[in-house]
Amino acid sequence: MRIVHVADSFPPDVGGIERQVETLARRQTAEGHDVTVITAVAEKGTVDREVSVARAAEGRWLTVAFPWRNHAMVAQILDSAPVDIVHAHFTVVSPLAIFVTREASRRGIPVAITVHSLWWKVAIATRVSTLPFGWGRMRAAWSAVSSVAAEHVRRTLLSVDEVSVLPNLVDTPWWVNPRPVPAEEAGQREVRMVLVGRLKKRKHVDEFLDALAEARKQVPPDTRVNVKILGDGPRRTDLVNQVQRLGLTDWVEFLGYHPSEDIRALFHESDLFVASSRQEAFGIAALEARSAGLPVIGYHPNGLSDFITDGVDGVLVADGAALADALAILVGQPDELRRLRVNAATLPPRVRPVDAVRAEAALYERAQAMHPERPRPALRSVSR
């Protein structure tokens, strides 16, 4: 198949959608498909050596404001050879992806769309911004990365009938810890938590730190906790100052960016993963931690609900106050934390790579079925 992905953000930008589009493109290329990625990011990354990437002209904000300035580049990709599927990846604001989607639809090319964000809180803005594009009249197969995100799309775009779930592709077996959960040591042991993510406002790390400070008030003064925060971003200085202000310097440390191998090793030495974002459309790092045998504490309703069962392999709470109470319980009751750890280490995660691959094939087939006049090549994996 000839597949064209389009995503406004792509490596070297860092984030969940960037990782997923790169993962899809690399996998499909390795399987023998002809894959091109169109992106608004002009700067090249290491992925360009392995995947065909068509980057927009310099001036990111000009592309955001005037995506049609890349009309010639887009037309050349769509017209140079038959395209079997255009797979567009949407967040809250995706002007280039919308533009390419319209151009593909006008040419009668099958279009699949995956939404990587939670839309409902910006539903009115999304409806207004998409009115000129006539989603209800366009033949496209819609999907989202989780059940909650899919429901957001249904509630936002009322004329779209079917929205399937296309989970992010995570190599869950690679993260598995080969060692069993160790027997509890005599005496009090340090509780080891880990948080991985970009240090940006929408990740709500500051709210987690506030909850951690409240939890500390509920446990004995000699309780030993170590929270390692991996990742970097524009809010790091503010968060370091917050830790100092809350008196958590003996509990929390910032480790900066680390590669996946280091993160996996840390997961295998930890007790609990913290998913701090309240608006997580999926939660890639949380699924990686869950695959490594870590219980996850985070919020609901969001994407975590597709692979974390509250009280079984993690704890899902509604707000910051409940998060503080849950942290106090897990820190102060070793038996409860151990029960969750054993479950997370022995029960396989509910979202697996095979689920993502099957959902992708079904999405592409649905998009192609909307164009019965065109031949329908199968999305066949040649490496599995």
Return the structure tokens found at 19: 């990782």
Between 261 and 181, residue with greater pLDDT: 261
Q: How many angstroms separate the Cα of 2 from the Cα of each of 42, 68, 208? A: 23, 23, 44
d(CA 109, CA 107): 6
pLDDT tens-place string over residues 127-181: 555 555 555 456 899 999 999 999 999 988 888 889 999 999 999 999 999 988 8
Return the structure tokens found at 131: 């009115």
Which domains, from first to last, does the chain contain? Answer: 2-170+353-369 (3.40.50.2000), 172-346 (3.40.50.2000)
Region of poorest pLDDT, from 297-301, 314-318, 377-381? 377-381
Region of poorest pLDDT, from 157-161, 226-230, 339-343? 157-161
pTM, two decimal places: 0.91
- In this prediction, residues 31-41 reach a mean pLDDT of 96
Strand order in the sheet with 314-317: 252-256, 225-230, 191-196, 272-274, 296-299, 314-317
Return the structure tokens found at 69: 């300035």
Mean of the per-residue pLDDT values for the chain? 91
Q: What are phi and psi of 309, to 5 degrees?
A: -105, 120
Four-CA torsion 156, 359, 297, 226, nearest 10 degrees: -120
d(CA 280, CA 286): 10
Predicted pLDDT of residue 204: 96
**Cα 293 to the center of its chain, rounded Å:** 19
**Which residues, including other chains, have CB under 8 Å from residue 56's CB and lie 6 or more apart?**
38, 39, 40, 41, 42, 63, 69, 70, 73, 96
Residue 219 reports pLDDT greater than 80: yes
Residue 41 reports pLDDT greater than 80: yes
pLDDT tier, 384 (very low <50, low <70, confident <90, very high otherwise): very low
d(CA 112, CA 5): 9
Region of poorest pLDDT, from 50-64, 83-97, 172-186, 211-225? 172-186
C-beta separation of 230 from 255 below 8 A: yes
Predicted pLDDT of residue 160: 87
Predicted pLDDT of residue 354: 95
Residue 260 reports pLDDT greater than 80: yes
Residue type, 146: S
Residue 264 reports pLDDT greater than 70: yes
Residue 307 reports pLDDT greater than 50: yes
- In this prediction, residues 59-64 reach a mean pLDDT of 80
Residue 380 reports pLDDT greater than 80: no
How many CA atoms are closer than 13 Å to the CA of 35, on its beta-carbon side? 22
**Which residues, including other chains, have CB under 8 Å from residue 149's CB and lie 6 or more apart?**
115, 116, 117, 118, 119, 281, 282, 303
Predicted pLDDT of residue 211: 98
